[in-house]
């Protein structure tokens, strides 16, 4: 019998014996079943992550596991078993001691750098040449048909390019997909809050949904009547045949259903939101419900200043968030918006549009130097990146002139979505890229809702770049869906005061996404998740391979098989000394660059010279790639480059002929 207040150290004394080996024993014990100790530690720090909240700590797990081991040892060896230290002759190892680099390590490091820079160099050379071409002409249209704010996500990069190619007077911007509005969201009748901002941010605000007249659809297959004896017996027989029929039907005609993860269902487009807070005492669980006028204004001003949109506003400005719908995907969070903690950004887009349309917010913005015309209206929207569809919010507020214009712009977006589907199809073996556009688009949508399709979307597969600068740097460039694009205008921020806010999330969000794919690709068994086909969802917080008890820490093969393990290259258009000052302003931000978890290149606004950040300083960088080839149009390029080209770039010349650069 153990005493009631026994400690972990006392249990380790029974099992191990020598205190010098305790740390190594616990390390080996927990790594013998991957994932669980990390999951418990995460839940201890963030208990709200569990839908059914439980109090659990890492020390509880260690204590419980040691008790089980002692029971097993007594059962096998008797109560007088000897501790492990009696049979160990090797001295304890310092698990966290510095590891000396071997010759193999140095060779692998050289190879990795060569692999990465064979791509980076071509891309930088292409951007340099594009800047030279663009400087010879006026890119920004004098009269803008509309402007659109997209998430910096590389899956939106391609859609932006096609929108601009379909409407030469359209201008697009990129910013983190939570649009600078951090809050928890509670859908009507929901029991839990969804966090809709970057993971490191802790919101103080709550947005609640209400007045939803439409009920969510439910699938009869999931009725609780099957849990009862009599009704369960008969329903199992009936539903069994029905399920078999639907399974065969889905093979030939996949379609959206209530059981499928639907990005558009995250928020009801007809519902209302508690956006404005008129009483500061209006709170729930310590969270302020809605935002005050001043808080709205501060966030709109910060975002517009950050992306350089402070004047020359178009009649309609779309705020386009993104999410992903898929039937066969236990790793759903990896496909939605990373800036929204793995959720669709529809609520964020709608909330920001409401902020920017608010009359009182406009008055305060005008006092601060941002004069948005009364005729300019913001419209929230959500782009489903798996099905390539768009839904618009609150379009009823548009004036008559903008309603007519919106109908025309919808056609522009539809044409862009067709081209986007075609571009995506290059990496899908089951789709003929040379087929008719509408046929490709239909196939793209069907694969997103097909239970038989393990690759409804490749997520962030192939991401390699993050470009912070004016759109003219990359406007017309075919970036192969590999670039995070963050709009930033150094001319509106000569001192770099807004640059720090722009750079702050790039490491944790963009760099974090890139490293997640990098490590999962380098060693998919230990650091990834293997094939997702046998994955079982565990407690809505992880996956395990069939009956295997290990939680898989990374991404499945079906998301990273086309990904090249390259670290993220961040390219910033500003003076090197200001960029250095910005990244050094926060130690947590600086370590991303100092430790080379991401690469950093500056483009001097005056000379257009490149400089590479290494060992705490910027040094000049000269590109090697020079040769240019031409394609007649983007269709022929996509069709001829069906296999993933890992080190090629394309951009459009004055004649709108794509340019193809290679070694």
Identify whether residues 248 and 272 lie together within a single domain.
no
Q: What is residue 135's predicted lDDT score, i.e. its pLDDT?
A: 72
Domain-located, residue 509:
yes
The predicted pLDDT at position 652 comes to 39
Are 240 and 384 within one domain? no
Statement to judge: residues 35 and 184 lie in one domain = no
Residue 333 sits in the same domain as residue 424: yes
Q: Which two tokens stand for residue 19?
A: 């205190």
E strand intervals along 178-223: 184-186, 194-195, 205-210
Q: Clarify whether residues 295 and 247 are in a common domain.
A: no
The pLDDT value given to residue 90: 87
* Among the listed residues 472, 622, 590, 641, the one whose alpha carbon sits nearest the alpha carbon of residue 131: 472
Q: The dihedral of CA 541, 544, 546, 547: what is its sign?
A: negative
Token pair of 534 as six digits: 């046998």
Same domain, 64 and 199: no
Q: How many domains does the chain have?
A: 3
619 is a domain residue: no
Structure tokens at 188: 């009507």
In a domain, 40, yes or no: yes
User: What is the residue range of 51's domain?
Assistant: 8-87
Domain identity same for 292 and 431: yes
Q: Is residue 135 part of a domain?
A: no
- Nearest alpha carbon to residue 175 among 377, 311, 348: 348
**Residue of 573, 567, 559 whose CA lies nearest to 530:** 559
Residue 628 belongs to a domain: no
pLDDT at 658: 40
Taking the C-alpha atoms of residue 206 and residue 587, their distance in angstroms, rounded to an integer, is 30
The answer as to whether 128 is a domain residue is: no
**Is residue 140 assigned to a domain?**
no
Give CA separation, 514 vs 341, 464, 482, 568, 643, in Å.
15, 7, 11, 6, 21
* 228 and 262 part of one domain: no
The answer to whether residue 205 sits within a structural domain is yes
DSSP 507: I
d(CA 299, CA 146): 22
Same domain, 225 and 264: no
Region for residue 555 given its phi and psi (left: phi exceeds 0; alpha: psi -120 to 50; beta: otherwise): beta
Q: What is the mean pLDDT of each run of 10 residues along the chain (663 residues)?
A: 76 93 93 86 81 84 94 92 90 86 93 94 88 70 89 93 92 94 93 88 94 74 70 74 77 77 88 94 94 97 93 96 87 80 94 97 96 96 95 96 97 96 90 91 90 86 93 83 93 91 89 93 90 82 80 89 94 96 94 96 95 96 76 68 45 39 34
């Amino acid at each position: 019998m153990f005493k009631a207040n026994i400690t972990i150290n006392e249990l380790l004394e029974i099992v191990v014996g020598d205190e010098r080996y305790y740390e190594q024993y616990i390390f080996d014990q927990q790594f013998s079943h991957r994932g669980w100790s990390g999951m418990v530690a995460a839940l201890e720090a963030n208990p709200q992550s569990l839908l059914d909240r439980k109090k659990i700590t890492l020390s509880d797990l260690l204590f419980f596991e040691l008790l089980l081991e002692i029971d097993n040892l007594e059962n096998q060896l008797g109560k007088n078993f000897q501790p492990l230290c009696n049979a160990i002759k090797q001295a304890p190892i310092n698990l966290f001691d510095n590891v000396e680099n071997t010759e193999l390590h140095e060779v692998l490091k050289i190879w990795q750098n060569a692999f990465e820079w064979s791509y980076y160099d071509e891309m930088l050379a292409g951007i340099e040449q594009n800047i030279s071409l663009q400087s010879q002409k006026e890119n920004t249209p004098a009269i803008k048909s509309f402007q659109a704010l997209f998430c910096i996500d590389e899956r939106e990069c391609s859609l932006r390019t096609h929108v601009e190619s379909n409407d030469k007077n359209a201008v697009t911007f990129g910013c983190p997909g939570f649009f600078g509005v951090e809050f928890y969201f509670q859908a009507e009748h929901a029991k839990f809050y969804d966090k809709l901002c970057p993971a490191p941010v802790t919101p103080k605000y709550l947005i609640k949904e209400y007045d939803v007249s439409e009920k969510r659809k439910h699938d009869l297959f999931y009725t609780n009547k099957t849990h009862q004896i009599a009704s369960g017996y008969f329903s199992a027989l009936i539903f069994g045949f029905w399920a078999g029929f639907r399974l065969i039907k889905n093979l030939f005609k996949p379609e959206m259903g209530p059981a499928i993860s639907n990005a558009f269902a995250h928020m009801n487009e007809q519902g209302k939101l508690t956006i404005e807070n008129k009483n500061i005492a209006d709170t729930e669980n310590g969270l302020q419900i809605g935002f005050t006028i001043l808080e709205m204004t501060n966030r709109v001003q910060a975002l517009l200043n950050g992306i350089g949109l402070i004047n020359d506003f178009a009649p309609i400005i779309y705020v386009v968030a993104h999410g992903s719908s898929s039937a066969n995907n236990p790793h759903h969070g990896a496909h939605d918006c990373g800036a929204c903690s793995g959720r669709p950004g529809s609520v964020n887009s709608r909330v920001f549009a409401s902020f920017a349309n608010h009359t009182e917010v406009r008055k305060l913005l005008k006092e601060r130097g941002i004069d948005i015309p009364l005729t300019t209206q913001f419209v929230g929207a959500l782009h489903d990146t798996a099905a390539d569809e768009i839904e618009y919010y609150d379009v009823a507020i548009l004036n008559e002139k903008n309603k007519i214009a919106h109908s025309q712009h919808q056609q522009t977006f539809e044409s862009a979505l067709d081209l986007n589907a075609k571009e995506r199809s290059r990496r899908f073996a089951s789709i003929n890229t040379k087929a008719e556009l509408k046929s490709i688009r239909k196939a793209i949508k069907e694969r997103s809702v097909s239970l038989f399709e393990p690759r409804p979307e490749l997520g962030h597969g192939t991401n390699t770049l993050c470009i912070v600068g004016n759109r003219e740097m990359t406007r017309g460039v075919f970036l192969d869906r590999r670039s995070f694009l963050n709009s930033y205008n150094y001319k509106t921020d000569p001192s770099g005061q807004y640059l720090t806010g722009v750079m702050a999330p790039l490491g944790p969000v963009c760099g974090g996404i890139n490293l997640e794919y990098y490590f999962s690709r380098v060693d998919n068994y230990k650091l990834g998740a293997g094939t997702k086909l046998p994955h079982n969802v565990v407690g809505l917080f992880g996956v395990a391979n069939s009956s295997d008890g290990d939680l898989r820490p990374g991404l499945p093969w079906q998301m990273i098989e086309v990904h090249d393990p390259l670290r993220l290259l961040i390219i910033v258009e500003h003076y090197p000394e200001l960029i250095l000052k910005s990244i050094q302003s926060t130690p947590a931000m600086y370590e991303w660059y100092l430790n080379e978890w991401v690469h950093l290149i500056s483009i001097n606004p005056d000379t257009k010279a490149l400089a590479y950040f290494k060992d705490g300083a910027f040094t000049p960088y000269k590109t090697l790639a020079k040769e240019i080839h031409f394609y007649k149009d983007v269709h022929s390029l996509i069709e001829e480059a069906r296999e993933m080209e890992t080190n090629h770039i394309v951009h459009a010349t004055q004649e709108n002929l794509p340019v193809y650069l290679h070694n």
